[in-house]
Amino acid sequence: MHAVGLITEYNPLHNGHRYHLQTAKQVSGADCTVVVMSGNWLQRGEPALLDKWTRTELALAAGADLVVELPVYFATQPAHLFARGGVAILSALGCDSLVFGAEHPDLDFAKLTTAMATMANGDFQHYNATFATQFNAALQATTGVTLTSANDMLSFCYYAANQRLARPLKLYPIQRRVAGHAETTITPGETFASGTAIRQAALQADWPAVEPVVPPATLAALKTNRLQSWADFWPYLQYQLLTVDVAHSGQYDQMAEGLEYRMRAMVQTSHDFQDFLGQVKSKRYTYTRLQRVATAALLQLTKAEVQAAQAHPYIRLLGFNSTGQAYLHQVKKQLPLPLYTKINQQLREHALQLDYRAGRVYELINHQSQDLYRRPLRITGG
């Protein structure tokens, strides 16, 4: 059996994702679709609307054969580390290929990556502009190309991450089925919409708008579950930033250059999370970066913890169908990373402690156990 990998968040799983899942085998010629999916905290520095188990179920229903978790120390990171974690896990699972959506799949990502290969991420950190702006200025200067779309940028990162592998995956960028990631409304009559537009509509319970652009299972899940957003966690973040010593908050992951003082000052005068972000915002940081720092603060993730965890990744199984099970059986004996199917005390205090903590915080709102007593979902068929 051959497997194709997908790196996903499914917040929530919509028709574009279903198309991606349906196309992956076809494009790659694989027999099994392996999905690595962010857990409860996402790359944009926010909680998932639906928890990881609900989203695993939706993924399996939409065509995934095997779903594993992208650990929080990769999921809540800048694009290059998010990509690196996803690619590493798919490679460890023996995938031959990776299929991903891009706004401009015809770009010569391989060439761009090679041209930029010598540039370290740290090179940009002293400029008074966001990372993406700096990155693009350098890319423009080196190659004449600018990557202004989120998924083009991510595609670039997949190529860069793939270059680090001893046995690289075959990469298949495909055309995304949505006008643009930043599009914030659902167009009537269309069957595809952006995640941002769908989240907004779902949080307003605008089901007639959501229905045409998501699979029926997603609609049902959105209607019946407690949808979680930053508004739910704002009181905890506020409390945390008010009480923590700045010497300690300065050690939170992705915190930088005195941002801990700025956050502590602004949290005292902000009345909600959006207001807080607006007050902290400066030219130096994107909203996404600030959301990721806020996530690190909320989860009390320090740079040191995140870096130590990134050096010891693992495969955390969330769900599978019979195809996924057969594939897992095939590769199980040669896995280069540990495979975890359920959590025990040892794991929750050591190897899995960051994911466990991230899950406990998520549970404060939805009150559904995220790790304790949970086993991978099995569905028949596939």
Q: Which residues are near a copy of itself by CB under 8 A? A: 235-236, 238-240, 242-245, 248, 268, 298-300, 357, 360-361, 364, 372
Q: Compute the least distance from the CB of residue 124 to a copy of itself, in Å.
A: 30
285 marked as part of a ligand binding site: no
Q: Compute the least distance from the CB of residue 228 to a copy of itself, in Å.
A: 14
Distance CA 369, CA 364 (A): 10
Cβ-based neighbours of 360, under 8 Å, separated by 6 or more: 370, 371
State yes or no: cis peptide before 216, omega within 30 of 0: no
Distance CA 311, CA 60 (A): 29
- Listing DSSP states for 46-89 in one string gives SB-SS-HHHHHHHHHHTT-SEEEEE-HHHHTS-HHHHHHHHHHH
Taking the alpha carbons at both ends of the chain, their separation in whole angstroms is: 14
**Given the complex with a copy of itself, which of 99 and 361 has the nearer CB atom?**
361
Record the tokens describing residue 183, joined without a space: 């599009």
121 marked as part of a ligand binding site: no
**Given the complex with a copy of itself, which of 57 and 253 has the nearer CB atom?**
253
Q: Compute the least distance from the CB of residue 125 to a copy of itself, in Å.
A: 27
382 marked as part of a ligand binding site: no
**Given the complex with a copy of itself, which of 47 and 101 has the nearer CB atom?**
47
**Given the complex with a copy of itself, which of 4 and 343 has the nearer CB atom?**
343
Alpha helices in 187-258 (DSSP H): 195-203, 207-210, 216-224, 230-243, 246-249
**Given the complex with a copy of itself, which of 59 and 263 has the nearer CB atom?**
263
DSSP designation for 252? B
Measure the CA dihedral 115/118/123/124, to 10°: 20
Distance CA 132, CA 129 (A): 8
176 marked as part of a ligand binding site: yes
Please check whether residue 66 is in contact with residue 32, taking contact to mean a CB–CB distance below 8 angstroms.
yes
Q: Compute the least distance from the CB of residue 242 to a copy of itself, in Å.
A: 5
Which of 315, 237, 8, 311 lies closest to 303, judged by CA?
A: 311
366 marked as part of a ligand binding site: no
Q: Compute the least distance from the CB of residue 350 to a copy of itself, in Å.
A: 13
**Given the complex with a copy of itself, which of 127 and 261 has the nearer CB atom?**
261
Q: Compute the least distance from the CB of residue 89 to a copy of itself, in Å.
A: 25
101 marked as part of a ligand binding site: yes
**Given the complex with a copy of itself, which of 6 and 297 has the nearer CB atom?**
297
Distance CA 126, CA 243 (A): 30
Cβ-based neighbours of 365, under 8 Å, separated by 6 or more: 47, 226, 228, 232, 233
Q: Compute the least distance from the CB of residue 364 to a copy of itself, in Å.
A: 6
Binding residues for ATP: 7-20, 101, 151, 176
Which residues carry a binding-site annotation? Answer: 7-20, 101, 151, 176
